Amino acid sequence: MRIVFMGSSTISLPSLHLLHSHGMEIALVVTAPDKPKGRGRKIGETPVKQMARELKLPIYQPTTLKSKEVIDKIGEYQPHVIVVVAYGKILPPELLQLPPKGCINLHPSLLPELRGPGAINWAIILGKEKTGVTTIFMDEGVDTGDIILQEEVEISPEDNSLTLSEKLAQRGAELLLKTLKLLEEGKAPRRPQIGFPSYAPLLTKETGKIDWRKSAKDIHNLVRGTIPWPTAYTFFKNKRMILWKTEVVEKDYSCPPGEVVEVSPEGIVVCAGKGAVKIKELQIEGKRRMKVREFLPGYHLEKGVILGKEG
């Protein structure tokens, strides 16, 4: 069974590697074009391109999927199935109809929950204790296709978006391999998505702005769910303060949201709408990430300061 694999991000890598290591015939790898990255704006390749090159697989990097030239180019490889794992673009109808066995997508949630590109982040931000991985037959909607296989994955209290991504990438790769074997045997199940869908839009920088009126648990989940980007932040002395590590303090200090009530080398305790948040690792814009004990000697942060004020 010939496969065209479409993916771009790090979460795609376990799937590509596992399919290749199990002898699946990957005829072509389609990934996003190279683009400038970082402060130096050096041209960077996608993680998928780097792995595909190591595996000596053919690589194709179209700037769009909507041209006849691109559809024809992919069609030259005569795929039986197209596999999509975090590719980053919506497939047009002409491409969806190309392979006889369909287009298969691996999505990092328990569909129909958390359709959309921010599923991993929002699972944590919303305080969920479990999420999962799902393989679907793709249709023209966004993550709306019929479910093939699905598996739950627990979200531990220590997870952030980065660690959860790694978990889901590994479990998803195994589920995808199982899916393709069933598809090849003509035994792949198919059932429509049932239940009320929810959506997980792309994160923006504004997503990470902390509203201290929210509960300590919600703020803590925002910190976990926005690592490594866009990160959760507040303001201290007109500078952006990024919070990298926090914990919930179940105590009522009877103080306004955003007020610092305790300062020690172990952490900075800040009142929230309900409970309080202890900041353990942070970063002032333009400076490096540091633990509170490293931060305090160089900054005058005392009890009574209100975080979050701009200007």
In tens, the pLDDT along 155-204 reads: 999 999 999 999 999 999 999 999 999 999 999 999 999 999 999 999 99
Q: What rounded mean pLDDT belongs to the chain?
A: 96
Number of domains in the chain: 2
Q: Does 130 fall in a domain? A: yes
pLDDT > 90: what percent of the chain?
93
Q: Which helix (H) or strand (E) holds 284?
A: strand 276-284
Higher pLDDT, 40 or 281: 281
Q: Domain of residue 239: give its range.
A: 205-298
pLDDT > 70: what percent of the chain?
98
Q: How far is CA 270 from the centre of its chain?
A: 28
Instruction: Write down how long the chain is.
Output: 311
What SS3 state is found at 84?
strand
Give CA–CA dist 145/212, Å, rounded: 39
Give CA–CA dist 144/262, Å, rounded: 48
249 strand-pairing partners: 276
Q: Please give the single-letter amino acid code of residue 123.
A: A
Q: Does 53 fall in a domain? A: yes
Do residues 249 and 288 make contact, with C-beta atoms less than 8 angstroms apart? no
Q: Does 199 fall in a domain? A: no
What SS3 state is found at 146?
coil
Q: Give the pLDDT score at 250.
A: 87
The answer to whether residues 66 and 126 belong to one domain is: yes
Q: Give the pLDDT score at 42.
A: 76
The answer to whether residues 94 and 133 belong to one domain is: yes
Q: Does 311 fall in a domain? A: no
Question: What are 64-92's pLDDT values in tens digits?
Answer: 999 999 999 999 999 999 999 999 999 99
The answer to whether residues 6 and 116 belong to one domain is: yes
Tell me the CATH number at 85: 3.40.50.170
The answer to whether residues 162 and 221 belong to one domain is: no
Q: What is the mean pLDDT of residues 30-53?
A: 87
Higher pLDDT, 41 or 58: 58
Q: What is the mean pLDDT of residues 223-236?
A: 97
pLDDT at 39 over 70: no
pLDDT at 308 over 60: yes
Question: What are 11-36's pLDDT values in tens digits?
Answer: 999 999 999 999 999 999 999 999 87
Q: Please give the single-letter amino acid code of residue 6.
A: M
Question: What are 236-259's pLDDT values in tens digits?
Answer: 999 999 999 999 998 888 899 999
Neighbours of 27 (CB within 10 A): 17
Q: What is the mean pLDDT of residues 99-123?
A: 98
Do residues 138 and 102 make contact, with C-beta atoms less than 8 angstroms apart? yes
Give CA–CA dist 264/256, Å, rounded: 20
The answer to whether residues 39 and 172 belong to one domain is: yes
pLDDT at 40 over 80: no
| Ramachandran sector of residue 223 (left: φ over 0; alpha: ψ -120 to 50; beta: rest) | alpha
Domain boundary among 184, 215, 242: 184
Q: Give the pLDDT score at 35.
A: 85
Closest among 81, 113, 96 to 177, alpha carbons compared? 81
Tell me the CATH number at 214: 3.10.25.10
0.85 surpassed by pTM? yes
Q: Please give the single-letter amino acid code of residue 264.
A: S
Q: Give the pLDDT score at 37.
A: 73
Q: Does 123 fall in a domain? A: yes
The answer to whether residues 78 and 145 belong to one domain is: yes
Q: Give the pLDDT score at 300.
A: 86
pLDDT at 102 over 70: yes
